[in-house]
Structure formats: structure tokens, C-alpha cells
Structure 1
């Protein structure tokens, strides 16, 4: 049984690597842009930190989802 294994699409691995590089570059440019935006407007943003902290509590309760990591109902000895 002598036969050659060829990939279905020879350029598929090359385009996937390019796509990953492009996505990584876009993410890095986004981080750099966010850094400079925050740096320039920090005095405007700093006044909202107490309100953002208070807003984080209900958002954590809303998005946490009690059924994912184990439910609160049930006894301590039940499995």
C-alpha cells in the first residue's frame, strides 16, 4: 500500500497562518490605541471609577449564572 498523502487544500495552512498573524496584529493595534486613548483622557475617566465599581457587582450577579459551577440547592451530603 504505497500511496502519497496530500492535503486537500495545499494553501490552507498558509492562509490560516496569515489569518492568525493578521488577527494578532489587529488586536495589538487595538491595545496600543486603547492605551493612548486612556492616557490622554485619564482625567475624565478617573472620576467614574467609584460608579463603575458599584456597577460591577450587579453585573457579576447577572452574568455569573448560578447553574454553571454547581447549584445552591441541595444538601451538603448529597451527590
Structure 2
């Protein structure tokens, strides 16, 4: 009633982790290059096909940037608790 022997799985020489038969030193680098190529192609197609939409939104983005820069540069109004603290006001010399 014994079944057929299980197929042998390719494993790494040192760790015993299955490698799937691919060279472990080459496959991650190749995958990164394929992914980078896909991203470049996708960005190229998006910019050529939707250039009119992107340029039409540009003035609105400029108008939106003004209040956002105001909030960031001023840090929001009304949060100036550090200015004029009580330690600087008590330096008049009247300690008696």
C-alpha cells in the first residue's frame, strides 16, 4: 500500500530552502529590471496619452499650492505658545 516516492525538490546547498530550480543570484536582479522597464513604459504611455489632462490641471495645482504653502510656512496660526513665556517676564529684578 505504499505510494510512489515523492519528487525531489531542488534546495539550496546550505540552507535546505527550496529554490524552485532558478539561480537564486540572478532571478531577483532580473525581476527588478523587468519591473523598472514596465514602470518606464507605463509612465511614457500615461504622459503621451494624457498630456492634455495633465496640462489642464496644472493651473489648479498652482492655486492649491498657495494656501498649502501658507499653512506649512507659517505652521498654522494660533500656535505660538513658546513666545513670551513666564520665565522671560520674571527677570525684572524684583525678587523681594
User: Is TM-score (shorter-chain normalized) higher than 0.5?
Assistant: no
- TM-score scaled to structure 2, two decimals? 0.39
- TM-score scaled to structure 1, two decimals? 0.45
Higher helix residue share: 1
Structure with the greater alpha carbon radius of gyration:
2
